[in-house]
Structure 1
Amino acid sequence: MGRARDRFGDLARRSPARFAILLFTTLILLFTALFMLPLSAADGRVTPVADSLFSAVSVICVTGLATVDMATHWSLFGHVVIFVGVQIGAIGVLTVASILGLVVSGRLGLRSRLMAAGDSNPLRAHAGPVPEGQAVRLGEVGGLLATVAGSTLSIELIIGALLIPRMLGAGVPAGDAVLDSFYYAAMAFTNTGFTPNAAGLTPFAGDDVFLGLLMVAVFLGSIGFPVIYAVIRNPRQPRRWSLHVKLTLTTTAILLVAGTVLFLLLENDNPRTFGEKPLGSTIFQSLFLSTMTRSGGFSTFDISHLHDSSLLVADMLMFIGGGSASTAGGLKVTTLAVLFLAAVAEARGRRSMEAFGRRIPSDVLRLSVSVALWGATIVAVATIVILQITKASLSHVLFEVISAFATCGLSVGLTADLPDSAKYVLAVTMWMGRVGTVTLAVALANSQKRQLFTRPEERPIVG
């Protein structure tokens, strides 16, 4: 045991990213075993391996997709396992380990700071000098961890408390109203999207206050803990916010508005979604859908009823996802922002990317391009494989795969009917989507070797 502990400690020190992947995978296997226990199922039977593994991956990766009815299949013990799992998965395994170490020891050592910093920024997930011009400096890691723990607890408690009167007003018994409210709050802030009741959000589809609270929780979870930390520190001084914070908030706002407008235009004539509702309700439902495609995973109607054009818009929004070091998935909004800024700089003939009076170094662009290609490759391969297995329509398979990769959780109903082989493929897609950027960062870090020569330069034709 001592030798194993030393090896784990050495791995955590030398490569926090590899340690995160190992710990992430170990947690998935542990939760798979827990879900297979007869105690976890409402009927007292053993849940099949494929469904248990898929549920464990969906919980730890805070995805929200399910092959069983998450509201009725699991017992009280099973729901507790789900609740704990999404908290760990949303915050990040390295952040959780650092918080526990801080609580137990009362201090935060350099190793823990490096681990937590690597969990908040893939550019830090390797050994070697750590540039201090990042979203969170090493000296601020302790404050960030306090923000992670404090914001998670306070936001979920506040949202849960505000949901209780809405639950009681809908006729839910008092005991169930309290439990379900905090369950909804946790699933919204962690961007998971599981519902504690079999009917889902259908009973609350007309309750704008209930849906609005869920949107607030999803938004706060999706912008990322470094952004929350920066805003809390300087709420009235936006000029002091870092470039990461400004890019995240600006890009998120643009995408929310763009998604709302597009869904409003495309679904305006669809009576099966919200096309026949009053204008105010249609705008609100469009905003709700735009927010949930960022990784929230909640829906007030059957997603399969969307037009194919709207499904494609949802695909793009899900693929982008939320902010870095957040509870959301996807490529991250800052990745999109960097790629857009690079295109603008190239169009203007500038050698460097600039935003908000700051220059963005080329290594950030390299990582952004690599992450985008990595994500597109995963989605393409998984889509082809599942299409071959299921023979389902391309629009539905693509939607389901992107929802899995981006850990969104919205579904057109295909996941529940998948054969076991396709379930495993989708589970791997969720895993890759959640830890893929960390894996990529490790690969890039390992490739950064000192080179004592430069090869002759030659320009290929592109475009």
Structure 2
Amino acid sequence: MQLIFLGFLLATAAGTGLLLLPAATAPGQETDLIHALFTATSALCVTGLTVVDTGTHFSTFGQIIILVLIQLGGFGVMTFATVVGLIVLGRLSLRSKLLAAAEAKSLGLADLRSLILGIIKISLIIEIALAIILSLRFHLSYEMSPGEAIWHGVFHSVSAFNNAGFALYSDSMMGFVADPVVGLGLSAAIILGGLGFPVILQLRRRFRTPRLWSMHTRIVLWATSVLLVLGTGMVLVLEWSNPATLGPLSAPEKLLASFFQSVQTRTAGFNSLDISAMEPTTWLGMDLLMFIGGAPAGTAGGIKVTTFAVLLFIVYTELRGDTAVNIFGKRLSRAVHRQAIAVVVLAGGLIGVVTGALMHLSGLPLDQVLFETVSAFATVGLSTGITAELPVTGQLLLVLLMFIGRVGPITFASALALRERRTMYELPKERPIIG
């Protein structure tokens, strides 16, 4: 846990140093330490929040650095280091296997070699396929030169699959709000990245035998489908008549834009609609979707759909008066109950404290500050447009929040202080009154 924490810390420091190089900044622009640190953290933590315009502030070299940080963040620093050791040495130590297992959320060590290679293979296949589709679309439909189209295709493909949300356009993807090729292509890659590698690998091996899917895979697929539908419906209904968002679009374009924004809200951070012009009620619904996030062991953030689903099943079990939590024909381990509650309490408490601090520092309203805070913690990257307006202290708080959100509340706490220990005794049991 400590090495994973230090790995991300060192990678962030290296990315900050590289972005401070004069060659990383476009002519006529200057990058100070705070801007470099914020951008490097946002890229490595695959968040997408920005304090400067990625497409105009950074040179091609700077954009390449950001792209590398995104890919590193997607793979996981420890997983990436293990892969390098595998290639160079041709073998893995037990320590390296344990580190990679902790980062990739692998339950076994025997097949770690094939797991890591599978992660690389799947990632590259999806990224290359989407890059080709986007490059052709940009060149044929938007009159980009071949070189520019390929670069934009590669950059946005990697950013999408890794759920980073970085774009080379000042308005993100608002210029493609009615383009089904770009919108659905990016959405497909984001959903796959947000499912998590264990789910993708199991679907690849046992796609035709759902009865053999694990509880984890079933929960992820069920929760992801439900949240995508609910998110699309929410944006569609609440923004239907808003003249600054869905209002001017045709009915099919409204459906496409609502689906695209639903996908982005849970994991990525691109936007095809003006987030700052949305209704406050929509912001609140998006806060919840961002807080839930995607699946574990993938490129998404948030408390994870499995955590949210486990809590729902715990509540359902209590309402029924049952003694055990059963999900899809399997009994849930009681240790998972405690883990889910711990994650939600830590995440909620952290978001509450940072939101209060940012409101005090900036004087901005609660709905905008809460949206920004949840987006940073959940490594989503959506913004109502206040990130660059925050004071330096506020931006540093978001940097810390993005870092904690990517590494994970429990991992972060464990890396700093906590140790698992066994007690040789149990105290007498007693029940307080709840509710």
2:193 counterpart of 1:221: yes
Q: Which residue of 2 aligns with 1:137?
A: 108
CA contact (8 A) 2:20 2:33 kept: yes
2:293 counterpart of 1:309: no
Distance (whole Å) between structure 2 residues aligned to residue 274 and residue 46 of structure 1: 36
Cα deviation for residue 92 of structure 1 reads 0.7
**SS in structure 2 of the partner of residue 72 of structure 1:** helix
Distance (whole Å) between structure 2 residues aligned to residue 384 and residue 339 of structure 1: 26
Distance (whole Å) between structure 2 residues aligned to residue 453 and residue 300 of structure 1: 57
Query: Normalising to structure 2: TM-score of the pair?
Result: 0.96
**SS in structure 2 of the partner of residue 344 of structure 1:** helix
Deviations 1:238-264 (A, max 9, x none): 222211111111111110011111111
Distance 1:443 1:95, change over 3 A: closer
Q: Which residue of 2 aligns with 1:8?
A: none
CA contact (8 A) 2:343 2:410 kept: no
Distance (whole Å) between structure 1 residues aligned to residue 409 and residue 90 of structure 2: 31
Matched AA of 2:81: A
Work out which of the residue numbers 264, 268, 273 in structure 1 matches 2:236. Answer: 264
Work out which of the residue numbers 259, 280, 285 in structure 2 matches 1:287. Answer: 259
Once the two structures are superposed, the pairs formed by residues 340-351 of structure 1 within 5 Å of their partners are: 340-351=312-323
CA contact (8 A) 1:37 1:46 kept: no
Distance (whole Å) between structure 2 residues aligned to residue 343 and residue 382 of structure 1: 28
CA contact (8 A) 2:177 2:253 kept: no
Distance (whole Å) between structure 2 residues aligned to residue 231 and residue 50 of structure 1: 42
2:121 counterpart of 1:150: yes
CA contact (8 A) 1:41 1:74 kept: yes
Q: Which residue of 2 aligns with 1:396?
A: 368
Cα deviation for residue 143 of structure 1 reads 2.1
2:197 counterpart of 1:209: no
Once the two structures are superposed, the pairs formed by residues 21-100 of structure 1 within 5 Å of their partners are: 21-43=5-27, 47-100=31-84
Distance (whole Å) between structure 2 residues aligned to residue 232 and residue 136 of structure 1: 18
Distance (whole Å) between structure 2 residues aligned to residue 396 and residue 311 of structure 1: 8
CA contact (8 A) 1:192 1:409 kept: yes
For structure 1, which segment, 200-209 or 437-446, has the greater mean C-alpha deviation from structure 2 after superposition? Answer: 437-446
Distance (whole Å) between structure 2 residues aligned to residue 120 and residue 361 of structure 1: 21
Q: Which residue of 1 aligns with 2:3?
A: 19
Once the two structures are superposed, the pairs formed by residues 314-393 of structure 1 within 5 Å of their partners are: 314-393=286-365
Once the two structures are superposed, the pairs formed by residues 106-255 of structure 1 within 5 Å of their partners are: 106-121=90-105, 136-168=107-139, 169-255=141-227
Cα deviation for residue 197 of structure 1 reads 3.0
Deviations 1:122-180 (A, max 9, x none): xxxxxxxxxxxxx6432232222112101111111000001112101112222100110
Give the total of aligned pairs: 434
Cα deviation for residue 459 of structure 1 reads 0.8
Matched AA of 2:151: L
Distance (whole Å) between structure 1 residues aligned to residue 122 and residue 358 of structure 2: 39
**Which 4+ runs in 1 deviate beyond 6 A?**
none
Matched AA of 1:275: G
CA contact (8 A) 2:5 2:415 kept: no
CA contact (8 A) 1:223 1:323 kept: yes
Cα deviation for residue 444 of structure 1 reads 12
How well do the aligned residues superpose, as a CA RMSD in angstroms? Answer: 1.7
CA contact (8 A) 2:177 2:257 kept: no
Cα deviation for residue 21 of structure 1 reads 0.1
Matched AA of 1:297: G
Distance (whole Å) between structure 1 residues aligned to residue 29 and residue 261 of structure 2: 36
Distance (whole Å) between structure 1 residues aligned to residue 425 and residue 184 of structure 2: 58
Distance (whole Å) between structure 2 residues aligned to residue 53 and residue 322 of structure 1: 25
Cα deviation for residue 452 of structure 1 reads 2.0
Distance (whole Å) between structure 2 residues aligned to residue 389 and residue 191 of structure 1: 29
Matched AA of 1:272: A
Query: Normalising to structure 1: TM-score of the pair?
Result: 0.90
Distance (whole Å) between structure 1 residues aligned to residue 419 and residue 53 of structure 2: 44
**SS in structure 2 of the partner of residue 42 of structure 1:** coil
Deviations 1:194-217 (A, max 9, x none): 112334323322211111000001
Distance (whole Å) between structure 2 residues aligned to residue 383 and residue 172 of structure 1: 42
Matched AA of 1:164: S
**SS in structure 1 of the partner of residue 178 of structure 2:** coil
Cα deviation for residue 442 of structure 1 reads 2.7
Distance 1:62 1:369, change over 3 A: same
Matched AA of 2:302: G
**SS in structure 2 of the partner of residue 434 of structure 1:** helix
Matched AA of 2:111: E
CA contact (8 A) 1:64 1:194 kept: yes
Q: State percent identity of aligned pairs.
A: 39
Distance (whole Å) between structure 1 residues aligned to residue 210 and residue 92 of structure 2: 29
Deviations 1:13-40 (A, max 9, x none): xxxx110001111111111111111111
CA contact (8 A) 1:329 1:406 kept: yes
Distance (whole Å) between structure 1 residues aligned to residue 241 and residue 302 of structure 2: 30
CA contact (8 A) 1:407 1:434 kept: yes
CA contact (8 A) 1:147 1:229 kept: yes
Distance (whole Å) between structure 2 residues aligned to residue 102 and residue 357 of structure 1: 39
Deviations 1:208-243 (A, max 9, x none): 111100000100111111111111121211222211
